[in-house]
Structure 1
Amino acid sequence: MKDLRFVLAIGVCVALGLAASAAPPGRGSTATAAPQVGAAPAATTAVSTAKWVYLTFDDGPSAKYTAQILRILQAYHVRATFFEVGQNVKRYPALTRRVDQLGHSVQNHSWSHPNLTKANWSTFKYQVRTTDRYLRAQTGYTPRCLRPPYGATNRVVAKRAAMLGKKIQLWSVDPADWSRPGTSVIVRRVLSKVHTGSVILMHDGGGNRSQTVAALPTILKTLKARGYLFYPLWCQ
């Protein structure tokens, strides 16, 4: 019985070691890891009083707007998550590489932005795996988050994502910046709805994102003044 417990203990250690080695280099370490979405942080005095959000950008990279957003994030020392469309990664690989080099998380937003609830299994695999391949070529790691275009998901999409090693990652704060409602409206919609653990949806590609760029400094400055920390998503 003692020998059996020893064997089991060794097996657990090996499994934990494999899980750690599977994480992207330098990402998701316990020293800097963000709380899991929807979960409370560890119950320590320092962490329990902290406030945090996850800032995310969809549909890039875009030659015009991604670079502007990266400069703003760098100026405010904020790290975000970019859910990128594979076709755009193929077109602007250097931008994806730059996003990664600046310490942001780069994740999967499909190859051509279809509604995945209407895709068959073959198309689903192509949309995810092809995007993975192009992202991996620029970042050196395979994304673990999948954000379905339009937020369109169901049990089938979630099951298929899991089969490909992905977790579905949606959002909780949507200012509808894609509709260009006005810079002040975007700012107000984010700041009025955000709370600890919020996942904020914005866009750096897919159209004219000048209002998003204009709104971003005020959003970052205000949230920082309110004591919020910003974490990237890795779906560990």
Structure 2
Amino acid sequence: MQLTGIGAFILATGAFVSAATTTTKATSTKSTGILAVESPKWLPDFGVPTGVNSGYPTGPIDTTKTISHTSLNLKNYPEPWTAPSTTHPEVKAVIAALDWTKVPKAPVVKVNAAGEIDMTSYDASKDPYCWWSDSNCVKPKASYLPTDVSICPNAGDWGLNYDDGPYNPIGDKATDKWAEPELYNFLAKNGNQKATLFYIGSNVATFPEAAKRAINDGHVLCVHTWSHPQMTTQTNAQVVAELYWTLRAIKEATGVTTKCWRPPFGDVDDRVRAIAHQMGLQTMIWDQDTNDWDMPGEGGGNLAPSKVDGYFQGWINTRKKGTDKTGHIVLQHELNNATVKMAEKWLPKLQTSFNVVTIQECLNVAQPYWEKNWIYPTEKNATISSNSTIASNATAAPTTTTTKPAPVSTPLVTDIDLTPATTPVTTPATAPAADVNLSNKGSLESSATLLTTGSASLFAIAASLAAYLY
């Protein structure tokens, strides 16, 4: 369902500058065949915010229980959780910078009266635009686009990730105890665990200190749009606006320009991919779904938590049997109190059966941002030698030192097939098919649930890793 309210806008005071001093141009199309991109030149230059590390943390992690709820200057942003304007000068600057001859002319998808995407006129057997929602396609038909990230290539890897953060408090004591930094502190205290976080721009703008905590803890920050629409239902200009304001909020809050994004509901086609790619973003999906968003909780649904428990246990059982032949990216959320509880319940158990890492670590992506000072550990290079420092005027908080457990032994993939075949999304053997629709013919996440949550919280893989690394 698309939100329609338009907030007040004013042009940000930051100058549009190139990040050429800290970034380099993408891999040439002559060597990879993938459309080359470079660090976005149209984002304001915010500098490094006070209180943010200068690079990946190698020392103790902050696990204080409270953080400031001060927002960014919301006058410089669209109204949180509303569809952003496409006529704002900053958005128009991005539109003018893109090569629209490299954006396939896929039609904007219609929605029915219930706000659900209409697939009746789309021929999935031909799938001309690699529409994931209908066909689970992850290898674009447009040859100049990289394959979506949807699995970890090494068996035994679990690419830990959470959508819809940072989880904002709403003023309710019972649920706010689960808002950030609850999950981030839990991760820090359980093996100094890192995760890939797909952020809603609205939630970053209203709770930037949570994003600071996450990046200081060593998590990887990615884009998950400004207001969580089904992206194939958006016009080209709307796609730009949804991505731009989230990129901007993350950069203002943390100082980094991320290279990764995830479409809400997994709803992406080559048109949307091409726009995101030119905005410096690699598309990331998943190959398994916990359906945790549908559990009873603040703004949640009616799926029994025992069903979600069964999915986790099924994945663990499969791994223990030795029949699991690939690594996984399993969709989870920091959407509400129920999803955070479930994440905390199962992480220690996953750590005993899988090598739990960020998506970027399992892909051996050391630099997930256009800024080169952030270098993360990878499976090929697990050692980070230089200590980072906190930006000037920041006050160091009490910290707790944790040690990450030894990873599960598994063969390391060193030569990755850059043209993998599409693999359908599957459900765990213990999960009843009637309760999980992973083909996304029905919504993978509840649109209504996410919209009512509002500002409260709300694989083949490796095609052209060189393009992703730029």
Normalised by the length of structure 2, the TM-score is 0.39
Task: Select which of 350, 370, 383 maps to 1:223.
Answer: 350
Residue equivalent to 2:330: 200
CA distance in 2, matches of 1:38, 1:171: 6
State the 1:26 CA deviation. Answer: 4.5
Aligned 8 A contact 1:52 1:231 in 2 = no
1:1-236 counterparts in 2 under 5 A? 18=24, 26=55, 38=151, 40=153, 51-63=156-168, 64=176, 65-76=179-190, 77-180=192-295, 181-193=303-315, 196-205=326-335, 209-233=336-360, 234=368, 236=469
Aligned 8 A contact 2:201 2:227 in 1 = yes
SS at match of 1:66: coil
SS at match of 2:280: coil
CA distance in 2, matches of 1:230, 1:169: 15
Letter in 1 for 2:160: L
Aligned 8 A contact 1:72 1:216 in 2 = no
Aligned 8 A contact 1:85 1:131 in 2 = yes
Aligned 8 A contact 2:159 2:329 in 1 = yes
Query: Which structure has the larger Rg?
Result: 2
State the 1:94 CA deviation. Answer: 0.5
Aligned 8 A contact 1:190 1:200 in 2 = no
Letter in 2 for 1:68: E
CA distance in 2, matches of 1:19, 1:121: 24
Letter in 2 for 1:219: W
SS at match of 2:197: strand
State the 1:218 CA deviation. Answer: 3.4
CA distance in 1, matches of 2:165, 2:150: 23
Aligned 8 A contact 2:165 2:198 in 1 = yes
From the two aligned structures, give the one with the greater helix fraction. Answer: 1
Deviations 1:167-212 (A, max 9, x none): 110111211100003444323213423654211211112xxx2222
CA distance in 2, matches of 1:173, 1:40: 14
Aligned 8 A contact 2:290 2:331 in 1 = yes
Q: Which moved more, 1:95-104 or 1:132-141?
A: 132-141
Aligned 8 A contact 1:37 1:197 in 2 = no
CA distance in 1, matches of 2:246, 2:306: 34
State the 1:148 CA deviation. Answer: 0.8
Q: 1:184 to 1:66 in 2, by over 3 A?
A: farther
Aligned 8 A contact 2:290 2:332 in 1 = yes
Letter in 1 for 2:346: I
Deviations 1:30-56 (A, max 9, x none): xxxxxx864646xxxxxxxx7321111
SS at match of 1:220: helix
CA distance in 2, matches of 1:66, 1:148: 23
State the 1:19 CA deviation. Answer: 5.9
Report the RMSD for the aligned CA atoms in angstroms. Answer: 2.6
CA distance in 2, matches of 1:222, 1:39: 19
SS at match of 1:83: strand
Residue equivalent to 1:32: none
SS at match of 2:222: strand
Residue equivalent to 1:13: none
CA distance in 1, matches of 2:265, 2:153: 27
Letter in 2 for 1:165: G
CA distance in 2, matches of 1:142, 1:191: 36
SS at match of 2:257: coil
Aligned 8 A contact 1:109 1:147 in 2 = yes
Q: Which moved more, 1:65-74 or 1:185-194?
A: 185-194
SS at match of 1:18: coil
Deviations 1:135-194 (A, max 9, x none): 011222111111111110111111111121111101112111000034443232134236
Normalised by the length of structure 1, the TM-score is 0.75
Structure 2, gaps ≥5 residues long? 1-22, 27-38, 40-53, 57-148, 169-175, 296-302, 317-323, 361-367, 369-467
